[in-house]
């Protein structure tokens, strides 16, 4: 292979991997690109009056990025529209929130054609191409239409919904058919992979055996490839100076109370309303323990132009206000609700200061916060992870307290159990989870995918089912 070409909706700023600045995915892809002298292509995030296809190249820390501006209609229909109002809710089982508009589907197709036109001249015959996520599902097919013979892989960062749900999408079959252009398709869990295979076999025929989906003369490798974090880096971040400072601050402000922490983008898939209700139930049912705890929820707003995201913001403020109104005292507020992001080293300190990490998405492809929480703990006195069964991460992190996030009772019970958990049990559970996060880290993830993309044999991961 001469090079790796990564295509994704947005291209991360390549900062050279300085601790505290980059997210895990950016670190992972940057490292892969460095190893394979790569190119990273995507939308610049800028909007122009008319699409020109002009590429802006930048060379940073050994990686070349190539970005293109989009026109306003593309952003409205492709990004805000089909990606965030149609596919995101549908892929997270929220058919009630999914908006099915022909303009969105057309804009999505058009933007993908434009991406294909723009990136095609940059591709050399031996390059392997790695397309990322639900914004770009038809990109591989568009490249094939333009004569691209390279190996092309696709990785989905979200869940893949059951067939019955996916069929509510008017162009479900056409969209899925575009995926037959890929050589490899990767999912975080076997559950998402099986849903995809079932859809294809039911709707199109074909077989799925030994990781290979066969459709006529087409062969597509379906790969379980759970994303990890840079565990070593995050753990050392949590021991670093800034994290220690944050930890001390949190300890002082906690005033001997146990901190429960939640960190999520403000998104309906993350189960924040149900989480607040579960915590409220804990407060109601445990009057003696009430003032022994507080919940810190950090949730920076995202996708603010989409109505569902404005609604969830209002609703959460309502619940937090009600809970605080009902239970707060002169010296205690039960929910601290913070609406902005923090640098990763501060976040690491917050995780380490917490007695409980409360990670309860209603549906999540993986969920990296759960892994970061574990990586940041003090091995001698670790906090307890309460994790939704419906996050991809639950497959690997079986030693968390797994809960049904829809059940306020289960969430309340898990909080009580976590608070009472003896240190030996906390250590035992933490060790098992840390080991997994260390072994199946972000380097493992990208190597696994790139191996499959290059047609090399890839062993199945150890744990496949919950
Ligand atoms: P997301 O839905 O964004 O990712 P997640 O995996 O939890 O969810 O990653 C969020 C990242 O943002 C984490 O690294 C976290 O530290 C960071 N973050 C969140 N809130 C923050 C805050 N307040 N301040 C600073 N940083 C914050 C999508 C899928 C997931 C999948 C990932 C990767 O929805 O299921 O795990 O992609 O594939």
CATH number at residue 124: 3.40.50.2000
Tokens standing for 129? Answer: 């191409």
* Same domain, yes or no: 279 and 368: yes
Residue 324, in any domain of the structure: yes
* Same domain, yes or no: 184 and 251: no
Whole-model pTM?
0.96
- Determine the atom of ligand 1 nearest the C-alpha atom of 267: 2
For helices 231-239 and 344-353, give the axis angle rounded to 10 degrees: 70
CB of 24 shorter than 6 A to ligand 1: yes
Residue 17: its pLDDT value, please? Answer: 46
Span from the CA of 102 to the centroid of ligand 1 (angstroms): 30
* Same domain, yes or no: 100 and 197: yes
Residue 463, in any domain of the structure: no
Instruction: Residue 325: give the domain boundaries.
Output: 231-439
**Which residue, by CA, sits nearest to atom 8 of ligand 1?**
367
* Same domain, yes or no: 252 and 371: yes
- Determine the atom of ligand 1 nearest the C-alpha atom of 24: 14
Structural domains in the chain (count): 2
Span from the CA of 366 to the centroid of ligand 1 (angstroms): 9
CB of 298 shorter than 6 A to ligand 1: yes
Tokens standing for 236? Answer: 């050392």
* Same domain, yes or no: 297 and 198: no
**Which residue, by CA, sits nearest to atom 1 of ligand 1?**
367
Residue 35: its pLDDT value, please? Answer: 82
* Same domain, yes or no: 116 and 235: no
Residue 260, in any domain of the structure: yes
CB of 240 shorter than 6 A to ligand 1: no
Residue 33: its pLDDT value, please? Answer: 87
pLDDT tens track, the chain, 466 positions:
579 999 999 997 765 544 444 566 777 788 788 888 889 999 999 999 999 999 999 988 778 999 999 999 999 999 999 999 999 999 999 999 999 999 999 999 999 999 999 999 999 999 999 999 999 999 999 999 999 999 999 999 999 999 999 999 999 999 999 999 999 999 999 999 999 999 999 999 999 999 999 999 999 999 999 999 999 999 999 999 999 999 999 999 999 999 999 999 999 999 999 999 999 999 999 999 999 999 999 999 888 888 989 899 999 999 999 999 999 999 999 999 999 899 999 999 999 999 999 999 999 999 999 999 999 999 999 999 999 999 999 999 999 999 999 999 999 999 999 999 999 999 999 999 999 999 999 999 999 999 999 999 887 776 555 4
- Choosing from 127, 157, 267, 441, the catalytic residue is 157
Residue 463: its pLDDT value, please? Answer: 56
Residue 26: its pLDDT value, please? Answer: 78
* Same domain, yes or no: 211 and 169: yes
**Which residue, by CA, sits nearest to atom 3 of ligand 1?**
265
Neighbouring CB atoms inside 10 A of 325's CB total: 8
* Same domain, yes or no: 56 and 135: yes
* Same domain, yes or no: 267 and 327: yes
- Determine the atom of ligand 1 nearest the C-alpha atom of 25: 33
* Same domain, yes or no: 240 and 317: yes
183: annotated active-site residue: no
Residue 466: its pLDDT value, please? Answer: 47
CB of 339 shorter than 6 A to ligand 1: no
Residue 302, in any domain of the structure: yes
CB of 186 shorter than 6 A to ligand 1: no
Sign of the C-alpha dihedral computed for residues 140, 392, 278 and 377 taken in this order: negative
* Same domain, yes or no: 335 and 268: yes
**Which residue, by CA, sits nearest to atom 9 of ligand 1?**
368
348 closest CA partner among 252, 239, 438: 239
Residue 20: its pLDDT value, please? Answer: 44
288: annotated active-site residue: no
* Same domain, yes or no: 219 and 237: no
Residue 460, in any domain of the structure: no
Residue 465, in any domain of the structure: no
Residue 187, in any domain of the structure: yes
Residue 238: its pLDDT value, please? Answer: 97
Residue 466, in any domain of the structure: no
CB of 379 shorter than 6 A to ligand 1: no
CB of 403 shorter than 6 A to ligand 1: no
**Which residue, by CA, sits nearest to atom 19 of ligand 1?**
264
Ligand 1 pocket test: pick from 27, 368, 376 the residue with the most ligand atoms within 8 Å of its Cβ.
368
- Determine the atom of ligand 1 nearest the C-alpha atom of 299: 23
Q: Contact, 369 vs 264, CB < 8 A? A: yes
């Amino acid at each position: 292979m001469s090079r790796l070409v990564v295509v994704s909706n947005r291209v991360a700023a390549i900062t050279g991997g300085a601790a505290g600045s980059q997210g895990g995915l950016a670190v992972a892809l940057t490292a892969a690109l460095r190893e394979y002298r790569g190119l990273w292509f995507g939308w610049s995030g800028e909007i122009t009056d008319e699409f020109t296809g002009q590429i802006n190249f930048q060379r940073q820390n050994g990686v070349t990025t190539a970005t293109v501006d989009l026109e306003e209609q593309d952003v409205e229909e492709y990004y805000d529209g089909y990606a965030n109002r149609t596919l995101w809710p549908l892929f997270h089982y929220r058919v009630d929130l999914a908006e099915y508009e022909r303009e969105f589907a057309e804009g999505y197709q058009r933007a993908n054609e434009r991406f294909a036109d723009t990136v095609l001249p940059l591709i050399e015959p031996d390059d392997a191409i790695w397309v990322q996520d639900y914004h770009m599902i038809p990109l591989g097919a568009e490249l094939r239409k333009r004569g691209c013979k390279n190996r092309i892989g696709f990785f989905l960062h979200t869940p893949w919904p059951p067939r019955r749900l996916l069929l509510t999408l008017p162009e479900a079959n056409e969209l899925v058919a575009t995926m037959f252009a890929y050589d490899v398709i990767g999912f975080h869990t076997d559950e998402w992979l099986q849903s995809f295979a079932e859809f294809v076999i039911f709707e199109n025929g074909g077989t799925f055996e030994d990781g290979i989906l066969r459709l006529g003369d087409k062969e597509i490798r379906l790969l379980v490839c759970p994303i990890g974090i840079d565990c070593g880096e995050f753990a050392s971040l949590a021991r670093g100076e800034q994290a220690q400072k944050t930890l001390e601050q949190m300890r002082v402000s906690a005033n001997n109370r146990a901190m429960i922490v939640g960190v999520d983008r403000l998104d309906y898939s993350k189960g924040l309303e149900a989480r607040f209700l579960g915590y409220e139930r804990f407060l109601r049912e445990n009057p003696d323990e009430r003032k022994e705890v507080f919940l810190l929820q950090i949730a920076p707003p995202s996708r603010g132009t989409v109505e569902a995201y404005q609604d969830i913001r209002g609703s959460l403020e309502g619940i937090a206000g009600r809970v605080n109104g009902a239970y707060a005292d002169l010296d205690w507020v039960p929910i601290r609700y913070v609406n902005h992001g923090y640098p990763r080293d501060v976040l690491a300190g917050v995780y380490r200061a917490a007695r409980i990490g409360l990670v309860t998405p209603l549906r999540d492809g993986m969920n990296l916060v759960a892994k970061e929480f574990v990586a940041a703990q003090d091995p001698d006195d670790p906090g307890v992870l309460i994790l939704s069964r419906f996050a991809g991460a639950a497959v690997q992190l079986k030693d968390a307290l797994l809960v049904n996030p829809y059940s306020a009772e289960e969430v309340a019970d898990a909080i009580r159990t976590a608070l009472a958990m003896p240190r030996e049990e906390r250590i035992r559970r933490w060790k098992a989870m840390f080991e997994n996060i260390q072994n199946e880290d972000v380097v493992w993830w990208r190597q696994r995918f790139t191996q499959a993309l290059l047609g090399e044999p890839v062993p199945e991961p150890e744990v496949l089912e919950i």
